Amino acid sequence: MITESMIRGIGMTSQRTRERLVRRLAEKGIRDKRVLDVIKNTPRHLFVDEALASRAYEDTALPIGHGQTISQPYIVARMTELLLAEKTPDRVLEVGTGCGYQSAILSQLVNEVFSVERIDLLLQQTRRRMRSLKLSNVRFKHSDGSWGWESKAPYDGIIVTAAPSEVPEALLKQLAPGGRLVIPVGQQGDAQQLAVIDRTPEGYVQEMFESVSFVPLVNGEV
């Protein structure tokens, strides 16, 4: 649970600043009130370096070191909204933990989150951050997430926050029947597109959504 006393701080991080961000997301088309509420109550400035804290409530991606970024709030909101649209998943796998912002949003909306990151130094920082925010229903693993997290599968929802050129087979396999995968697909630089893949009794059904720009899904761990 994130409480108001954890968020309070300098002017930039005030309730009003966060409300402004949520208004902007609603204007851009985010409809799910649960998602907007959670974004309103999540201190994004605690997920970036202090030097960038004053920009944390702008609707932009920001660098988090190791050549990676914290996703743009609109994209986090949009992917979360798509993941929850048909039914709220119970257990969710995230590939690409990064600073843990998307994990923190999910952890307040679903029962359990399993998140995999290939850069150990990033993950160590994120584990500490989640502990201090008391978000205890997120479990992390240092691994190449293109293999998913098999021992915890199946998942009702899978969200991938780095772009592969093709959907990894392992993720399709680890999706529970009735489950949903939200994933950006495409080469970096070229048009990546957000795909939503449902595992239905008739098989996997894919629908394409807006163009996006993610860091690439990279093989191997460091």
> Which residues are designated catalytic?
71
Compute CA distances 70 → 12, 20, 78, 100, 130, whole Å: 18, 19, 15, 8, 15
Does 99 bind ligand SAH (CB under 6 A)? Our answer is yes
State the alpha helices, DSSP H only, in 59-113: 73-84, 101-107
Burial of 49 (0-12, 13-18, 19+ CB in 10 A): middle
Residue 81 contacts ligand SAH per CB under 6 A: no
Q: Two tokens at 39? A: 């974004």
**Residues in CB range of 180: below 8 A, 6 or more apart:** 82, 83, 86, 89, 156, 157, 158, 196, 197, 198, 199
Residue with smaller CB distance to ligand SAH, 112 or 178: 112
Q: Does 212 bind ligand SAH (CB under 6 A)?
A: no
Considering only 13, 161, 174, 192, the residue that binds ligand SAH (CB under 6 A) is 161
- By rule CB under 6 A, what string of x and - marks binding of each residue 129-148 to ligand SAH? ---------------xxx--
C-alpha closest to that of 109 among 55, 168, 13, 33: 33
Is residue 114 a contact partner of residue 91, using CB atoms and an 8 Å limit?
Answer: yes
Of 41 and 102, the one with the shorter C-beta distance to ligand SAH is: 102
Among residues 30, 56, 95, 171, which is the contact residue for ligand SAH, using CB under 6 A? 95
Nearest distance from residue 220's CB to ligand SAH, in Å? 7
Examine residue 70 and tell whether it contacts ligand SAH (CB under 6 A).
Answer: yes
Q: Which helix (H) or strand (E) holds 168?
A: none
- Shortest distance (Å) from residue 96 CB to ligand SAH: 3
Give the one residue of 13, 41, 42, 69 binding ligand SAH; rule: CB under 6 A.
Answer: 69
> Where along the sequence are the contacts to ligand SAH (CB under 6 A)?
68-71, 76, 95-96, 98-99, 101-102, 116-119, 122, 144-146, 161-162, 215, 217-218
